[in-house]
Amino acid sequence: MSLEIVVMVKQVPDSQEVVIDPVTMNLNRSLTRNVTNRADENALEAALQLRDKVGGRVTIVSMGPPQTESTMIECMARGADRAILVSDRFFGGADTYPTGLTVASAISKLEKFDVIFAGEESSDSSTGHVGPGVAEFLGIEQATYVSKVDYEDGLIIAERELEDGTEVVKVPTPVLITVLLNANIPRRQTLRRKIDAIRRGIEVWNLEKLGMPPEWVGVRGSPTIVRKMRSIKEKERAAKKIELDQIPELVKELYEKGILKLEESQ
Amino acid sequence: MQVEEKLALLNYKTDPAYAHITIDESICETCPDHFCTFGCPAKCYTIIDGRINFKYEDCVECGTCVIACAHGSVKWTNPKGGQGIKYKFG
Amino acid sequence: MSGGMSDFDVIVVGAGPAGSSAAIKLASSGSNVLLVERADPPGSKAVSGGILWGKELEKVVPDWEKVTPLERFIEYKSTAFLTEESKVSVDFRTKKFEKSKTGYSVLRAKLDQFLAQKAKAAGATLVTGITVDSLSMKDGIVNGVVQDGETVTANTVILAEGTNPRVAIEAGLRKPLSDLDSAIGIKEVVKLSENTINERFNLKGNAGYAGEFVLGFLEGGVRAGGFMYTNKDSLSVGVVISLPHLRENGKTYAYDIMEKFMQHPYVSPLVEGGQVQEYSAHLVSEGGVNSMPDLYGDGYMIAGDSAGFTFSNGMVIQGMNYAIASGVLAAETAIEAIKKKEFTRGALSSYQSKLERSQVLMDLRKFRGIDRLVWSRLVHETAPEMLENILFGIFYEDGSPKKHLANTILQGISGSNMKKSELIMETYRMLRRM
């Protein structure tokens, strides 16, 4: 058995370095360096584990400016086999809709794809749209917020972490899976693989290669219009230190203020 | 400004799977000076209830502790690739 | 591949000023070179004061003054003694430094990234974010590096790991670090506007200030120096603390010394209103030639801070210029070795002779033992107090009849904590060393 596995990755500003300018409300990126979106590292690790178990090949697909190359090389240094960067000035300013469409279009150009992995969301926009969007555009199954993946008898078995528990789903391929942040511990890059990756280089696909109309991509293909941005002033929280034996009074107070409610048990 | 506030300004890529510095607690137990607590600029070594408490997560990788400890307790290695402290200015 | 059976002609471990300079030189000469750096991006684990003295960079980046990320050129140099309540300083500023630059303030995260990218552009294979675990040896000859159990081979390895060279130490090529060859450096980068800096330090345009301080106010025998350098729109402020004295004291926290320096009555007004952007720490090589390892051997050379190439006489601290110079010389030696196809200890021995003929080892040998003076009681306890006493005696006007100047000076000396005979001997020794 051999699986063709795709991992969608994104290069993002290092969230620990992002500063919002208090006057303009814009992100001050002058001191911010780019890194690989962390959940995507978990997606890559899930993909590599699946490949190592079942056999096959892992291809990285990313849409972004040319400097995304460093992220692609990093992914190959962790063990990915091939890297395709979808990059063209036409793709600039895309919101999640044309991004999903563009990435789906790139993936559909691959000879074959069985499992597509993506991080649950990116740390810079946190929409979680693009992964599921790609599945929709490709018309394939999807399993989101997955912590564990296995493969048996031609079916992907995915454990989904939901608010009220864990759901195990069995889905046929092709399927798209979004992987939770910290679902696993990503393996390290190795020197040997990184040298090989630099020598092999990455493939860059432009708009022409994808054969998409320019009005479908980038800022022109984006339905989102940002009218206004504002930063949120955090409300001062009422804090109160109490002794253990005052808990009954606290509960009473919270009940009276309507913060705690009594629910009839069935 | 407290050193804790200064450390809070820093960007770390902490490696959950590898502690690049380890200490031998049996040596620390009998240590007469605990000079590591005075030397370490990142306050990674503190004494809690008479015992050395060490956390590698705040380490800025200067290497002071491996010299400071004259009793052979500290084992110092580089963090694995790219992880650990990430200075913006340096 | 020119390296025959090896993956590379040369592997350079560490992309700081020494390693990247070596890699630029090697790659420009057509050698197949791997530059491997554990930080990602390069410079994100580096700390230096940092003034880049001299013009060494010209050797690898001909138009360096135009293209390198430099902060300000040093026009205003100051050396000061601080006591609890006083500051005695010698200031030197000259327009001559504007025409002929002697040094620039730099920030390493920018500088190192720039140099590493230069090496990549010259044709080096730049690998970042990878930590070399150890050296690979065959029949006692270094023939590559090991990472995650895999060996990448080369005919020569240049170790430029910086001041805490784990690979060299692990391989037994350098003794473990000790109190005598390292001091603790702690630094803060304080954000201030360009205008504020120019006003506070009386600077114009791109001119900069570099101040060194003796922290004569520390108690209990603790000895430390301080520094303050102007960047474009920030200050680099820090301390260098002597380990043996801190150890002997046994109750002072290194990080408290940094804060005490920042709060000194003649330091705090200079940083006031500034926002601390970064706190950092790094060892400072101190040993000079006394703790220098073998600089070369079968299949390897050691450059920069890893070799202990740092110089400090209390008035300047230099390291990056020696790092660049030694990196270039190691590269030149490797280029000769590649031509001769010989990489033994004998073939690489010209690295040492090149260094001996260069500023690097000449400076270090000439000022051998100066660290003992820099950390002496004379400098850290006697001089600050004595100078304060003398100058206070001269300038304090209380209405009583003036004493003869010589008496004021003698009184200042006798009021100090050192005997006159001792003082004369110490001063004599100091002058001889300098």
pLDDT, tens digit, for every residue of A82-138? 999 999 999 998 999 999 999 999 999 999 999 999 999 999 888 999 999 999 999
User: C106 — contact with chain B (CB < 8 Å)?
Assistant: no
Q: Spell out which residues of chain A touch residue C145, defining contact as CB-CB under 8 Å.
A: 191
For the segment C265-302, what is each residue's pLDDT rounded down to a tens digit? 999 999 999 999 999 999 998 877 888 999 999 999 99
- Of the partner residues C41, C126, C147, the one whose CB lies closest to the CB of residue A191: C147
Confidence of residue C433 (pLDDT cuts 50, 70, 90): low
- Pick the closest to residue C285 from C326, C322, C260 (CA basis): C322
pLDDT, averaged across chain C: 93
What is the count of structural domains for chain A?
A: 1
Q: Does A44 map to a domain?
A: yes
Is residue B66 situated within a structural domain? yes
> Residue C40: closest CA among chain A residues belongs to which residue?
A35
Instruction: State whether C255 and B3 contact (CB < 8 Å).
Output: yes
Domain region containing A146: 3-216
Contact state of B88 with A188 under an 8 Å Cβ cutoff: no
Q: Is residue A256 part of a domain?
A: no
- Which site among A188, A190, A195 would you substitute to test the B interface, given the most B Cβ atoms closer than 10 Å to its Cβ? A188
Residues in B closer than 8 angstroms to A189, CB to CB, are 81-82
**Does residue C170 belong to the interface with chain A, where contact is any CB pair within 8 Å?**
no
pLDDT single digits (tens) A181-207:
999 999 999 999 999 999 999 999 999
The conformation of residue C416, written as its DSSP 8-state character, comes to S
- Tell me whether residues C147 and A198 touch, CB distance under 8 A: no
- Name which of C41, C126, C127 is nearest A191 (Cβ-Cβ): C127
What confidence category does residue A265 fall into, taking pLDDT thresholds of 50, 70 and 90? low
In-domain check, residue A26: yes
pTM score of the predicted model: 0.92
Chain A residues within 8 Å of chain C (Cβ atoms): 33, 74, 77, 188-192, 194-195, 198-199
Closest to C7 in 3D by CA, of C116, C113, C136, C120: C136
d(CA A41, CA A37): 7
Residue C149 forms contact with B (CB below 8 Å)? no
What is the average per-residue pLDDT within A222-234? 82
Q: What is the pLDDT of residues B18-52, one digit of tens each?
A: 999 999 999 999 999 999 999 999 999 999 999 99
| A189 touches A73 (CB < 8 A) | no
Considering the domain boundaries, does residue A227 fall inside one? no
The answer as to whether A234 is a domain residue is no
Q: What is the mean pLDDT of residues C8-13?
A: 98
Q: Does C141 touch chain A (CB under 8 A)?
A: no
pLDDT band at A235 (very low <50, low <70, confident <90, very high): confident
Chain A residues inside the 8 Å CB shell of C127:
191, 194-195, 198
Chain B positions in Cβ-Cβ contact with residue A183 (cut-off 8 Å): none
pLDDT in tens, A32-63: 899 999 999 999 999 999 999 999 999 999 99
Q: Which of C147, C151, C233 to mutate to test the interface with A (most CBs of A within 10 A)?
A: C147
- Within a domain: residue A165? yes
Q: Locate tokens 């300083």: which residue?
A: C89
φ/ψ (deg, to 5) at C395: -95, -15
Which phi and psi angles does C407 have, rounded to 5°? -65, -40
**Do the chains contact at C7 and A33, CB–CB below 8 Å?**
no
Q: Percent of chain C, pLDDT > 70? A: 98
In a domain, B41, yes or no: yes
Q: Write out chain A residues lying below 8 Å of B11, CB-based.
A: 14, 16-17
Say how far residue C431 (Cα) sits from the centre of its chain: 23
Which structural domains are found in chain C, ordered by start?
A: 8-70+106-177+288-368 (3.50.50.60), 182-285 (3.30.9.90), 376-433 (no CATH)
Cβ contact C125–A195 (<8 Å): yes
Is the CB of A17 less than 8 angstroms away from the CB of B11? yes
3-state SS, chain C, equals CCCCCCCEEEEEECCCHHHHHHHHHHHHCCCCEEEEECCCCCCCCCCCCCEEECCHHHHCCCCHHHHCCCCCEEEEEEEEEECCCCEEEEEEECCHHHHCCCEEECCHHHHHHHHHHHHHHHCCEEEECCCCCEEEEECCEEEEEEECCEEEEEEEEEECCCCCCHHHHHCCCCCCCCCCCEEEEEEEEEECCHHHHHHHCCCCCCEEEEEEEEECCCCCCCCEEEEEEECCCEEEEEEEEEHHHHHHHCCCCHHHHHHHHHCCCCCHHHHCCCEEEEEEEEEEECCHHHHCCCCEECCEEECHHHHCCCEECCCCEECHHHHHHHHHHHHHHHHHHHHHCCCCHHHHCHHHHHHHHCHHHHHHHHCCCHHHHHCCHHHHHHHHHHHHHHHHHHHCCCCCCCCCHHHHHHHHHHCCCCCHHHHHHHHHHHHHHC
Contact A47, A5 (CB under 8 A): yes
pLDDT of residue A266: 55
Partner-chain contact B62 C164, CB within 8 Å? yes
Interface list for chain A against chain B, based on CB atoms closer than 8 Å? 14, 16-17, 31, 33, 185, 188-189
Contact C185 B40 (CB under 8 A): no
Residue A203 belongs to a domain:
yes
Is the pLDDT reported for residue A142 higher than 90?
Answer: yes
Local confidence band at A69 (pLDDT 50, 70, 90 cut-offs): very high
What is the structure's pLDDT at A111? 94
User: Which of A33, A188, A195 is the closest to C127 by Cβ?
Assistant: A195
How far is Cα A143 from Cα A168, in angstroms, rounded to an integer?
10
* B16 in any annotated domain: no
The Cα angle at residue C118 between residues A84 and C310, in degrees rounded to 5: 130
Q: From A194, which residue of chain B is nearest by alpha-carbon distance?
A: B81
Size of interface B-C (CB pairs under 8 A): 139
Mean pLDDT of A253-258: 90
Q: Hey, are the CB atoms on A195 and C7 less than 8 Å from each other? A: yes
Residue numbers of the domain that contains B75: 1-6+31-79
Contact with chain A for residue C41, Cβ under 8 A: yes
Rounded to a whole number of angstroms, the distance from the CA of C341 to the nearest CA of chain B is 32
Look at A191 and C125 and tell me if their CB atoms are within 8 Å: no
pLDDT band at C4 (very low <50, low <70, confident <90, very high): low
Q: Do C152 and A188 touch (CB under 8 A)?
A: no
Please compute the mean of the pLDDT values over residues C305-317 and round it to a whole number.
86
Chain C partners within 8 Å of A198 (Cβ):
125-127
Residue A52 belongs to a domain: yes
Asked if residue B75 belongs to a domain, the reply is yes
Cβ–Cβ gap C178/B67 under 8 Å: yes
Residue A158: give its domain's CATH number.
3.40.50.620
pLDDT in tens, C115-128: 999 999 999 999 99
Mean pLDDT of chain A: 92
The ipTM assigned to this model is 0.98
What CATH number does residue B71 fall under?
A: 3.30.70.20
Give chain B's contact residues with A (Cβ, < 8 Å): 11-12, 16-17, 80-82, 86, 88
Q: Is C246 on the interface with B (CB under 8 A)?
A: yes
Comparing CA positions, the residue from C295, C433, C431, C279 lying closest to residue C352 is C295
Neighbours of A, requiring at least 3 CB pairs below 8 Å, are B, C
Are B11 and A185 inside 8 Å of each other by CB?
Answer: no
Total domain count, chain B: 1
Q: Do the chains contact at C254 and B10, CB–CB below 8 Å?
A: no
- Closest residue of chain C to B9, computed from CA coordinates: C278
Contact C128, C116 (CB under 8 A): yes
pLDDT score recorded for residue C1: 39
Which of B7, B13, B87 is the best substitution to test chain A (most A C-beta atoms within 10 A)? B13
